[in-house]
Amino acid sequence: MEFSLIDTTIQQFDGDCVVVFSNSEVANDDSNIQQLIELNHFESKSGTTLLLNLVAGFKAKQVIVVGMDKAPNTAKNYTKALSAVSGVLDSLKSKSVMIQALDVDGFDESWVHRTGARVLQNATYEIQKLGADKVDRVLENIAFQSDNDNAHELAQGHAIADGMALTRHLGDLPSNICTPSYLAQTAQELADEFNLECEVLEEADMSTLGMGSLLSVSKGSIEAPKLISLSYQGNGNAKPIVLVGKGVTFDSGGISLKPGVGMDEMKYDMCGAASVLGTMRAIAQIQPAINLTIVVPAVENMPAHNASKPGDVVTSMSGQTIEILNTDAEGRLILCDALTYVEKFNPEVVIDTATLTGAVIVALGKHHCGLMANDQDLADDILAAGKTSLDTAWQLPLDDEYDELLKSNFADMGNIGGREACTVTAACFLARYAKDYRWAHLDIAGTAWVSGAKKGATGRPVPLLTQYILNQIN
């Protein structure tokens, strides 16, 4: 699907379909549209739609009126309206569609175009059942009404949606296919497509580096661990932004076995890895003047005769020792070695993203990512990027009092700190390995996927991370 800008009136567009917002001048002033709205008793609630055919005065065969509530138009209502429109378009056989221009409170036209392209492209994602033929979509072009001929923002929105699609696809794949080796293969394919630098460390390489914490998680699985790095260079020798993504391709909990109900969703425990791969894809397509490196520690956590046991003590790459009190708190065990490893890149900042704790879902539900950082300016930049991208985060504390809960009688630290403030103590654990650079942690356990009838990966936080990266250029 392609996106474009077009300088014409809604009435004069000679494609198949036009989209009109219910509180716009067209909906209010065009007598034919207004009469049909009243005749159909259409209520202008956010996200409601009305399909009209062969409206007098319109060249397009079909007109979709979409509810927006009363002005001012909010960003959330705008994206909700576009999501509703995409559902209607799925049922139509239209090849070309025009979206009416709209002012969104607090945002400029560039944001409207970038976000519109992202939302509509992301809406085309479909979970691909294994063995099923891919469905070809009829819709070929969506044009946004504008007197601006710069389509750069549309291309950015499309690229972000493509990154989200990769993230969602990887998350939705079953864990017998999306293994650590599969993630490594995906990274290599991105490197080949976009001329990126890719390196994959094997188990022996990690053992040589002293990554005893990471390797303690993978040793109960037949799947070999991988440490994947992928680099995009768009700004010479400038320090890179480094993203680290947790890649537990299936998390059984290990010896601290999880309950059986819902365990199938633990294939999503690699969504941190998927999100940084998706972000790299988006950035590689946009090609901004910035340097970006992603690092993915990829493992499978399984119970076996040789798996780690509660009470075991392991030594991380940093030399710090860890008492494994719960083998289901494994994400931090692979991330800590990755956070030590990324020092080699001399990073400007490091942001890790991980489905780390169920506690963050209790705290924030499915709406915000949990954010903790050792640098407030970095935290503020991430929060701002979340508001712009509508992929929001909420900051939680990272105080010394919480760090004290990690004390161990038998090692430098335990890998859990008890029931209280689990999300915060998990971040405190990681902070011990990120003292030499500016660092932030995103806990996406509540936002990376949804359950129930619409079960599937969401593609978050690709929009947030991409927006943060683009903001660093200006």
CA distance 330 to 351: 19
What confidence tens digit (pLDDT) does each residue in 151-171 have?
Answer: 899 999 999 999 999 999 999
Average pLDDT over residues 364-377: 97
Q: What percent of the chain has pLDDT over 70?
A: 100
What confidence tens digit (pLDDT) does each residue in 404-439 have?
Answer: 999 999 999 999 998 899 999 999 999 999 999 999
Residue whose token pair is 């394919």: 189
* Both tokens assigned to 179: 């293994």
Average pLDDT over residues 320-344: 98
Confidence check: pLDDT of 257 > 80:
yes
Q: What is the 3-state secondary structure (H, E, C) of the chain?
A: CEEEEECCCCCCCCCCEEEEECCCHHHHHCHHHHHHHHHCCCCCCCCCEEEEECCCCCCCCEEEEECCCCCCCCHHHHHHHHHHHHHHHHHCCCCEEEECCCCCCCCCHHHHHHHHHHHHHHCCCCCCCCCCCCCCCCCCEEEEECCCCCCHHHHHHHHHHHHHHHHHHHHHCCCCCCCHHHHHHHHHHHHHHHCCEEEEECHHHHHHHCCHHHHHHHCCCCCCCEEEEEEEECCCCCCCEEEEECEEEEECCCCCCCCCCCHHHHHHHHHHHHHHHHHHHHHHHHCCCCEEEEEEEEEEECCCCCCCCCCCEEECCCCCEEECCCCCCCHHHHHHHHHHHHHHHCCCEEEEEECCCCHHHHHHCCCCEEEEECCHHHHHHHHHHHHHHCCCEEECCCCHHHHHHHCCCCCCEECCCCCCCHHHHHHHHHHCCCCCCCEEEEECCCCCEECHHHCEECCCCHHHHHHHHHHCCC
pLDDT at 369: 98
Tell which CATH architecture fits domain 2-147. 3-Layer(aba) Sandwich (3.40)
Question: Which one-letter amino acid corresponds to residue 458?
Answer: T
Q: What percent of the chain has pLDDT over 90?
A: 89
pLDDT at 133: 78
Confidence check: pLDDT of 134 > 80:
no
Name the pTM for this structure.
0.97
Average pLDDT over residues 448-453: 96
pLDDT at 474: 62
Confidence check: pLDDT of 471 > 70:
yes
Could you tell me the pLDDT band of residue 458, with boundaries at 50, 70 and 90?
very high
Could you tell me the pLDDT band of residue 30, with boundaries at 50, 70 and 90?
confident
CATH of domain 160-471: 3.40.630.10
What confidence tens digit (pLDDT) does each residue in 213-253 have?
Answer: 999 999 999 999 999 999 999 999 999 999 999 999 999 99
pLDDT at 444: 98
> Average pLDDT, whole number, for the chain?
95
What confidence tens digit (pLDDT) does each residue in 383-409 have?
Answer: 999 999 999 999 999 999 999 999 999
What confidence tens digit (pLDDT) does each residue in 57-109 have?
Answer: 999 999 999 999 888 999 999 999 999 999 898 888 889 999 999 999 999 99
Map out the domains of the chain as residue ranges: 2-147, 160-471
What confidence tens digit (pLDDT) does each residue in 41-62 have?
Answer: 998 888 899 999 999 999 999 9
Residues carrying an active site annotation: 258, 332
